[in-house]
């Protein structure tokens, strides 16, 4: 491991207090936003009845576990404190106002069960049909700057403040990967990088690592460019996960976060095959997506209800899919698997 790239200063009691306070405020803020969203939104129709949802307390305790684990990793020097742990409150308030203004349109779509407004003659030739959805009844699907500006906030509300902490858990196997891969010459790619949140944590910890991010959405990449503007050695490009514009065996590390639940079954397999193609033998895939049925049995009713509450046409199939088999058949060996709150992490080695 190259010292200069990964030296992380020891934490102090003050850091711990600061982390705890920041995460408590974050949870309070986004849980409040979540509760208000639920109050302002129409009831979820359809789905399995009766619904035995887990208690708020059970979910909240699990979120607490995620933050405790995040802190332990930081304390152990596995990665740095979050670079934006104390965000400027003005943009946060602006985002909140934007989010609640937009919620009216989201709710209208939800009421009418209109989840494919973005599918039309203008877009059908340019994007795959499965992609042209208003996932979560979001305005403009993935196809506008407004949607890109709101996305991270929407995701944090959904996970009551835990989304970034879930993504950061992948920094642990990433660090382990650098035991065998020299950082200076390593090439990493984040497939479906969205607004680049994960890459900001990667670059904050490994500023000299060469990283690429690809996504089908140009506006999301524009937002990623904005979020990553302080770092160099970052390449961002519009590309489709099932047709990556890179040579065979050209990368050492790939990551793929919260993409597979938004893909039809056959496309998941094509993207996995494509990631296997561009990774060199021995290369590492860091995979994260929603937990699946049975990963935490008392959360199953939430998973079953989710595609009825939010427009998620492939989610019901995703939670049943055999991810281990899928990756095995495409040349990956499973090197680790864990749950972190609502995320399932898998570390896979290209055989």
Ligand X SMILES: C[S@@+](CC[C@H](N)C(=O)[O-])C[C@H]1O[C@@H](n2cnc3c(N)ncnc32)[C@H](O)[C@@H]1O
The residue nearest ligand X at its CB is 194
Residue 287 CA to residue 175 CA, distance in Å, equals 15
Interface stretch with ligand X, choices 105-113, 258-266, 304-312, 331-339 (CB under 6 A): 258-266
Residue 278: CB minimum distance to ligand X, A = 13
Asked if 274 touches ligand X (CB under 6 A), the answer is no
Among 173, 194, 219, 283, binds ligand X (CB under 6 A): 194
Interface stretch with ligand X, choices 16-24, 112-120, 254-262, 311-319 (CB under 6 A): 254-262
Among 30, 258, 260, 306, binds ligand X (CB under 6 A): 258
The size of the interface with ligand X (CB under 6 A), counted in residues, is 19
User: What x/- string results for residues 145 through 174 when contact with ligand X is judged by CB under 6 A?
Assistant: ----------------------x-------
φ, ψ dihedrals at 124, nearest 5°? -60, -35
For ligand X, the closer CB: 23 or 240: 240
Q: Which residues contact 209 (CB under 8 A, 6 or more apart)?
A: 5, 183, 186, 188, 202, 203, 233
User: What x/- string results for residues 105 through 134 when contact with ligand X is judged by CB under 6 A?
Assistant: --------------------------x---
For ligand X, the closer CB: 3 or 122: 122
Structure tokens at 233: 């050695």
Asked if 220 touches ligand X (CB under 6 A), the answer is yes
Asked if 192 touches ligand X (CB under 6 A), the answer is yes
Asked if 67 touches ligand X (CB under 6 A), the answer is no
Among 257, 276, 309, 347, binds ligand X (CB under 6 A): 257
| Greatest CA separation for the chain | 58
Asked if 142 touches ligand X (CB under 6 A), the answer is yes
Among 198, 201, 314, 327, binds ligand X (CB under 6 A): 198
Residues that bind ligand X (CB under 6 A): 131, 142, 167, 192-194, 197-198, 215-217, 220, 240-242, 257-259, 262
């Amino acid at each position: 491991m190259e010292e200069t790239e990964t030296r992380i200063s020891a934490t102090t009691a003050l850091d711990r207090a600061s982390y705890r306070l920041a995460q408590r405020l974050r949870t309070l803020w986004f849980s409040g936003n979540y509760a208000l969203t639920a109050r302002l939104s129409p009831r979820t129709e359809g789905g399995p009845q009766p619904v035995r949802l887990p208690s708020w307390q059970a979910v909240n305790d699990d979120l607490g576990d995620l933050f405790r684990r995040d802190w332990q990793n930081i304390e152990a020097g596995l990665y740095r404190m979050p670079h934006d742990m104390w965000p400027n409150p003005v943009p946060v308030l602006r985002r909140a106002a934007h989010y609640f203004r937009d919620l009216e349109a989201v709710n209208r779509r939800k009421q009418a069960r209109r989840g494919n407004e973005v599918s039309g003659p203008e877009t059908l030739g340019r994007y795959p049909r499965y992609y042209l959805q208003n996932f979560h009844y979001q305005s403009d699907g993935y196809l506008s700057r407004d949607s890109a500006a709101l996305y991270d906030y929407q995701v944090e509300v959904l996970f009551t403040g835990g989304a970034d902490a879930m993504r950061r858990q992948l920094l642990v196997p990433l660090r382990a990967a650098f035991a065998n891969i020299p950082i200076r010459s390593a090439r990493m790619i984040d497939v479906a990088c969205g607004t680049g949140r994960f890459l900001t944590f990667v670059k904050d910890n490994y500023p000299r690592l060469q990283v690429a991010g690809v996504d089908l959405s140009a506006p999301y990449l524009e937002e990623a460019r904005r979020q990553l503007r302080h770092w160099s050695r970052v390449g961002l490009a519009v590309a489709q996960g099932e047709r990556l514009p890179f040579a065979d065996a050209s990368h050492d590390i790939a990551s793929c976060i919260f993409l597979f639940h938004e893909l039809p079954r056959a496309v998941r397999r094509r993207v996995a095959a494509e990631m296997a193609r561009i990774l060199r033998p021995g290369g590492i895939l860091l995979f994260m997506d929603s937990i699946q049925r049975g990963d935490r049995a008392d959360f199953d009713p939430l998973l079953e209800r989710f595609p009825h509450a939010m427009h998620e046409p492939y989610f019901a199939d995703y939670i049943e899919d055999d991810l281990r088999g899928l990756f095995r058949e495409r040349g990956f060996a499973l090197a680790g698997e864990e749950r972190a709150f609502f995320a399932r992490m898998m570390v896979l080695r290209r055989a």
